[in-house]
Structure 1
Amino acid sequence: MSGRGNRRLRELAAGAAPVAGWAVGVALVASWTAELPARVAVHWGPDGRADGFGGPVSTVLLTGVVAGLAALATAGVLRARRFAVPERRLLVGSAAGTAFFCVALLVGALAGQRGLADPAAAPSPTVPALVAAVLAVAGGAVVARLLPADPPGAAHARTAPPATAPRLPLAEGERAVWSGFTTMQPAGLAVLVTTGLVLGGLVVVGVAPVPLLLAPALLLVIGLVVGSARVWVDERGLTVRSPLGRPTWSVPLAEVAEAGVTDVRPFREFGGWGYRVGRDGRAGIVLRAGEALEVTRGDGRRFVVTVPGAAQAAALLNSLATRQRT
């Protein structure tokens, strides 16, 4: 099979994966029909007791809406070629993971009801939720990796940055490094902290189930991973690193076609804070409004990072890229 045909086949597999996962779930529940109550528990209250019921097969069939939306989202992302491979993988993997989670959660909850006479006695789906989360992450990652990578060197810049691009004077053989630090603006940090406190408080006062404590823990991890970042510009190119050391984002110097400064509005352009993919295909670390370093790769893709001193970083990056290619 040709390289193009193989690429198309892998994209089709990624698009079909959410629907395939849903079909497996439907088949499993259908095979358990004789063992399940005529009405099964599909919702649990804060006290962990079942308080909502439905037909087993019809209930799992409804999760097909999520699978169908995930497949449509995947098709839309693959058709929008403005998204680079990493961003396509992130979006497609997230869509598939969401569908896998919904199906696995419901199937797991129904599995715990096999042999029950009274669905009101159905156990809380805490364990199925944890298993579903693991399956969603693993399945989403597998689907994301189905999308083929770009050929080596596809993003390399062939010429030096344009003469109009800002530059920092460098003597022959002189080495220079720029470093900056960026943090999430107070509004973003306030949202994370407030949400975590509210969710934790609901558990403490007994309004919400104990498993909801996982949410504040997740918010803490998000804050540690993308709440701040260290930014470097040197002979390797641009490097952005989270406080934990991982993940790290980079634009190799060989891919820098031009660097400049732009003004960013997180919600309007990127829908929020953190590692974001904008509506125009730009990707990057967006932690605050205002000044941002924007790097254009050789293939036209753009990466942004909101950081003070972006003008100096852009000038040095252009100078280093120019020296590399002259």
Structure 2
Amino acid sequence: MHGSRIVDPAGAVFGLVLPVVAALSAVLLTKLWEPRLPAEIATHWTTTSPDGFSAPMSSAWTFALVTVLFGGGCAAFAALAPALLMMRRTMLVVGLSVVGLIITVQVVMLAVQLDVTDPTGTELPLWSLGLGTVLGAAVGMIGAACLRDYRRRVAATKPPDATLPRADAPAAVAVSVGFGTTGSVILLVLFGVVPALVVCRLAGGWWPLAVFVPVGLLLVSLLRFRVLVDEDGIRVINMGMPALDYGIDEIEGARVGVIKPFDDFGGWGLKVKGARNYGVVTRTGPAVIITMACGDRLTVTTSEAEEMAGVVNAFADRRLRHP
């Protein structure tokens, strides 16, 4: 039974095992390379030269601890099966991006000091920061696609209230919610490209683009949704993957209300307000509010709220007539 599962196996592999394996692999690599490294390696650089040094193995275990605590600590959230699927996916991508950044920088840091007698003359290739972020985010996206929704599913036992809207000829409805293409590009430029170009100018290289642009893309993705309603139920798609999925047999009814994102949910995006109260809220105005037999409530702000509520209730009626 989905509701009884505590750990998502894919989340455990990507969020718990992978960060630990990555950290220990970097420790093992350091041990293998130790005979070719200086007794004290450079571990921190200013803009011009190293200003921090440490014994190779001491540095390796410090990196491992930071990797597991920060990257792994964030990614571990993905293993919690009862938690909201989209939140687990987001935390996994963020956590593994951190893991990729730290491990890549660590490996490159060691590589540039192989067979070097005086580490004070070494330089850390700053492109490793961008490469690590991109690699980590890519693995995080693969892991995110493997996560599954293990929430408790309960079938409704009665039709939606007779006072709720019904569509006379219900048909599938698909709406885009949140930032459109133009808004998304503007948001990405403001919070991804522009900060990256400023840092590029200061750093004298293009590597910040590989750090800031993925972060900007993640921010944009959290404000873009596709909501599908049909005879099977309602699905909220984010980052090309289902973030929320309720079967038509779980739905008790849908009504229309007026929502103010900051007043009602504390912000924009996929929000959680109180226990089991979820909202895809990206605008002020009409919203379809759907209640489930398990106690969940889903609010979606859209100009098609009336139509969507009517379709949901009509399909739910059919469910009870033809179980």
TM-score (norm. length: structure 1): 0.69
Change (3 A) 1:279 1:26: farther
Match of 1:40 in 2: 41
> Counterpart in 1 of 2:91?
91
1:20 — aligned with what?
A: 21
Stretch of structure 1 that moved more, 12-21 or 105-114: 12-21
Q: Distance in 1 between matches of 2:99 and 2:220?
A: 27
| Residue 205 of structure 2 corresponds to residue 209 of structure 1 | yes
Matches within 5 A, 1:23-172: 23-44=24-45, 49-55=48-54, 56-63=56-63, 64-72=65-73, 81=82, 83-85=83-85, 87-92=87-92, 94-137=94-137, 139-140=139-140, 150=150, 155=153, 157-160=155-158, 162-163=160-161, 167-171=164-168
- Residues 110-167 of structure 1: per-residue CA shift (max 9 Å, x gap): 223212233344344345335533542355457667867649xx63634345427x63
Instruction: Find the counterpart in structure 2 of residue 313 from structure 1.
Output: 308
Q: Residues 215 and 20 (structure 1 numbering): CA distance in 2 closer, same or farther, change over 3 Å?
A: closer
Query: Could you list the runs of 5+ residues in structure 2 that have no partner in the other structure?
Result: none
The structural deviation recorded for 1:170 is 3.8
The one-letter amino acid paired with 1:318 is N
Shift in alpha-carbon separation, 1:232–1:80, aligned structure 2, 3 A:
closer
CA RMSD of aligned residues (A): 4.6
The 8 Å contact of residues 19 and 68 in structure 1, kept in 2 or not, is answered as no
Task: Give the gaps of 5 or more residues in structure 1.
Answer: none
Percent identical across equivalent pairs? 22
- The 2-side partners of 1:156 and 1:197 are apart by 45
**Which stretch has the larger CA shift, 178-187 or 111-120?**
178-187
Matched residues, number: 312
Q: Structure 1 residue 67: deviation in Å?
A: 0.8
Cα distance in 2 for residues equivalent to 1:77 and 1:267 = 29
Alpha carbons of 1:281 and 1:36: their partners in 2 closer, same or farther (altered >3 Å)? farther
Q: Distance in 2 between matches of 1:70 and 1:146?
A: 19
Cα 1:178–1:137 change in 2 (3 A) is closer
Q: Aligned pair in 2 of structure 1 residues 230, 93: CA closer, same or farther (>3 Å)?
A: closer
Per-residue CA distance 1:219-268 (angstroms, 9 max, x = gap): 664577555445443334335567xx945656343443443447353699
Alpha-carbon distance in 1 for matches of 2:199, 2:9: 47
User: Deviation at 1:281?
Assistant: 5.9
Deviation (angstroms), 1:285: 4.3
Moved more, 135-144 or 23-32: 135-144
Q: Is the 8 A contact 1:239 1:250 kept in 2?
A: yes
